A and B are shown apart, each in its own frame.
Chain A
Amino acid sequence: MIATDAQVLPPSTGEFLAVVLARDLGDGEKAIIGTNSDIQLAACNLAQRLHAPNLWWVSGPGGMVNPRREMLLSTADFENIESAEAWLDLPNMVDFIDWQIHFFDFAILSAIQIDRFGNINTVAIGDHAKPKLRGPGVVGIAALTGLSKRFYVVLTRHDRSAFVPKVDFISGPGYLDGGNSREERGLPPGGPKLIVTPLGVFDFVPGSRAMRIKSLHPGVSLEQVRDSTGFDLVVDGTPPVTPVPAAAELEILRARVDSKGALRKKFP
C-alpha cells in the first residue's frame, strides 16, 4: 500500500503503477500489450476512460481490438472477444506487429532483467545452454521494442537481480550500449521511455541514454533505490516525488476498469 488521499482506500502497488502509466499514454495513439498483462491492460483502459478516448490498443495473441470490460481478464481470454470492437486473425496481424516500422506508438512490456540502457531480458539468467533461471522466452518483445516508436517497461519487483549492469540475454533492445549505438545498429528511432517499478519512475538521459531517476514514489529514499539497483542510476539533484493517484483516478480504475479488484489481489 502506498499512502495517498485520505478519502479513498490507498492504492495497491498494482493500482499505483497502472495510474502512473496511464497518465503517459496519449489520445489517438496505437498501442500493443502482451499476455499476462494486468497492469498494462488497466493502464490502457484507464487512459481511455480518463483523457485518451481515441487510444487504440490491441492484444497480440487474441486479436482483440479495444476490448473494454469493467474487469481485468487475460488479454488472450476468449471472453474478451465480445467486448472488442474488432477481432483480427494473427497471420494478418504479424505483418504490422513483426515487420512494419512504427505502426505502434508504444508497447508496454515486462522483463526478468533490465540494464542501465533499458535492454530487457525474458529468456535466461546465466549461460543460455544451462541457465541459472530459465525464463519464458522472447515472443513479441524483440519486435515491439525494436519497431514501436517508444516502449514502457513495468516491473513489479525492483532489486539487484532484476536491475543489472548488463542483461544476460537481449530479448528486446533498449539503447543497447548507450549513446547512438541503437541507431548505429540499424534500428529505427525508438527505445524505452519510462521504466515503472514499485520504487519509482525512471527515464533515460538524452545523449548518454543511461537510466535516470525521474521520480521516487512516496516514502522511497534515494538510498533504498540505490541499494536495490545493480548499477549507478543518474540522479539530477533531488528527485521529485511521483504524484500519487488522485481519488478520481482510483475511483474510475476501481469502478470501470478493475471492478473485481484483481490489481489489489495480485499486486498488493
Chain B
Amino acid sequence: MSRTSKLVSLDQAVADIADGASVGLGGWIFNSQPMALVRALIRQGARNLDLVPSPGSIAPDLLIGAGRARSTVCVFISFEHHGLAPQFRRAAESGTLKVYEMDGPGIAGGLRASICDLPFMPIPDLATDLPRVNPQHYRPLPTQPGERRLLAVPPIRPDICFIHAQQADEYGNVQFLGGPFFDVMLAQASRRVIVSVDRIVSPDIIRRANHLTKLPAPMVDAVVEAPFGAHPSSSASLYRADDVHLREYVKASAKTDAYRAYLERYVEKPIDSAAYLNEIGAARLAALAVSETNLT
C-alpha cells in the first residue's frame, strides 16, 4: 500500500470552503502572503468570510477589497513603505467591515489556547484599549491580590488556514527556507490546513534537509504547487516582493473602476497559476528572483 498524496490543484484546495467560514492567513506583511490561494478563493466565490490574518498586507486587503470578508481580526495590516492597507482602510473607515482589534499577546495566546485545548490563555493586562473595543477576545481574569494583572483570551480556531511556504513533498511535509513567522502556530490552531508551495520536491530532498520541515505531514491537509504563489509578496530565498506591482495595486485602489479592473485582470481572468504568471510576465518574475545584493 502506498502513502497518500495530499497534492491537489488550487481550485480543488478551496472548492468546499463555505460562506461564513473563518480563514486564517499566514505570512508576515510582505512575506509569504498566500496569494495564489487567496485569488483562487475569490474566484470560488465564498462570502461573509471572517479573516484571521497574521500581521499581513495584500492577502487580507484583497479579500476585503473583493467584498468577500464580513470581519477581520487585525493584529497588524499594513502596506509598510507603500502606506496604509488601502482596501482594509476604506472598509474600516466606512464602518462596513467588523474589525476585531488584537495584539501580539492576544493572537499568540488565542492560538495557543486552541492548540492546547484550553478554554483561554492568560495574557498580561497591558492597560490598552483592546478590551474596550474587543471584549469578545479580551476578558477580565480574576487574580489574587499581589498577582500580576491578567486578561483571558479565548481560543482562536480558524475553520481553515492558508499558508505559503517554499517547498514540500506531496505527502505534506512542508519546508520553510526563511522565517515561519506565526505559520506553525496558525496551522496547529486551525481545523484544516492548506499550504501552497513554490515547488513540490521529492521525499529525498525533504529528508536531506529535514531541519527545514516546520510543518510535518499530519499537520497539513492539502498541498498545492503554486510557483511564485506568494506574488506580489516575497517567498524566502526564492523571490523578493514586487514593489512595482504593489504600487500598481495601491494606485488602482484609489478608484472603484480601477480596482474593479485590477480584480478582473489579476484575479478573475487568470483561472490558474500559469495564467496569472503570464499576466505578470516572465521578465518581471525573473527580476524578482534576483538577490538584493545584485540590485542597485
Contact = CB atoms under 8 A, between A and B. Distances in A.
Q: How large is the interface on B (under 10, 10 to 19, 20 to 34, 35 or more residues)?
A: 35 or more
Nearest to B80: A36
Contacts of B174: none
Contact of A147 (B95, B102, B124): B124
Contacts of B181: 61-62, 76, 90
B94 A136 contact: no
A95 B181 CA distance: 14
B130 A142 contact: yes
Interface in B100-149: 101-105, 108-109, 123-130, 133, 148-149
Contact of A123 (B101, B104, B105): B101
Contacts of B129: 123, 128, 169-171
Contacts of A176: 127
A28 interface: no
Contacts of A89: 180, 184, 214
Nearest to A172: B128
Contacts of B63: none
B171 interface: no
B76 to A, nearest CB: 4
A143 interface: yes
Contact of A81 (B29, B55, B74, B178): B178
B234 to A, nearest CB: 7
A103 to B, nearest CB: 12
Interface in B237-296: 237, 291-293
A259 to B, nearest CB: 11
Contacts of A136: 76-78, 84-85
B234 A143 contact: no
Contacts of B179: 61-64, 76, 78, 81, 87, 90
Nearest to A132: B93
A134 B125 contact: no
Contacts of B76: 35, 136-139
B89 interface: yes
A187 interface: yes
A142 B29 contact: no
Contact of A129 (B28, B89, B95): B95
B291 to A, nearest CB: 7
A143 B105 contact: yes
Q: Which of A90, A140, A176 has the most CB of B within 10 A?
A: A90
B236 interface: yes
Contacts of B92: 124, 131, 134
Contacts of A73: 292
B31 interface: yes
B185 interface: yes
A134 B60 CA distance: 15
Contacts of B80: 35-36, 74
B210 to A, nearest CB: 16
B88 interface: yes
Contact of B125 (A98, A128, A138, A186): A186
B168 interface: no
A142 B128 contact: yes
Contacts of A143: 103-105, 124, 126
B124 A138 contact: no
A266 interface: yes
Contacts of A47: none
Interface string A93-115: 01001110000000000000000
B83 to A, nearest CB: 10
A204 to B, nearest CB: 17
A142 B109 CA distance: 14
A64 B130 CA distance: 29
A130 B108 CA distance: 27
A94 B78 contact: no
A53 B30 CA distance: 31
Contacts of A133: 89, 93
A137 B74 contact: yes
Interface string A172-216: 110010000010011100000000000000000000000000000
A178 to B, nearest CB: 13
15 contacts: A62-B178, A74-B30, A77-B234, A91-B108, A94-B108, A99-B105, A130-B95, A136-B77, A137-B103, A138-B76, A141-B103, A143-B104, A143-B105, A146-B124, A172-B128
Q: What are the 7 A-B residue pairs with the smallest beta carbon separation, nearest first? A: A146-B126, A136-B78, A78-B236, A78-B178, A138-B103, A139-B76, A130-B95
Given A90-B185, A129-B133, 13 more contacts: A62-B178, A74-B80, A78-B234, A91-B182, A91-B185, A99-B105, A99-B124, A123-B101, A131-B93, A133-B89, A134-B84, A138-B103, A143-B104
